[in-house]
Amino acid sequence: MRAAFLAITTVYAESGSGFVMPSASAKSGVEAMNKSLAAEWGRYGMRFNIIQPGPIKTKGAFSRLDPTGRFEKEMIDRIPCGRLGTMEELANLATFLCSDYASWINGAVIRFDGGEEVFLSGEFNSLKKVTKEEWDLIEGLIRKTKGS
């Protein structure tokens, strides 16, 4: 028997987040179940993988979570790729993970968020706001420093 199972959860299933406790709790349980089944049932030809999408603009989600459009720019500003994901990109990844091309991928968790999670978790990532002129000034100060 060969089968591919795919769970689509969210990035905050790992970390938790304000205002999404029921969703985060349920999705983290789905992730634990899929990882456990990958380990236990892989020998039967069954594969279990997970996609954790970040913000993807859909009418259903954005009409409820951002009805005024107020937060969309803030979301985009914290995504290193500089845009929201698309349903087509998610569908392409899902198709790949369920295909024979991914027949040796089992128990994987694919973060699909344009780099948002790693940007938010880095303490120096706000340096993204530093201008070219400010970088030049910083470099000059560093070069003048002797020792540590």
Asked if 101 is an active-site residue, the reply is: no
The amino acid present at 148, given as its one-letter code, is S
- CA-based max dimension of the chain: 66
Write down the catalytic residue from 7, 10, 11, 12: 12
**Catalytic site positions:** 12
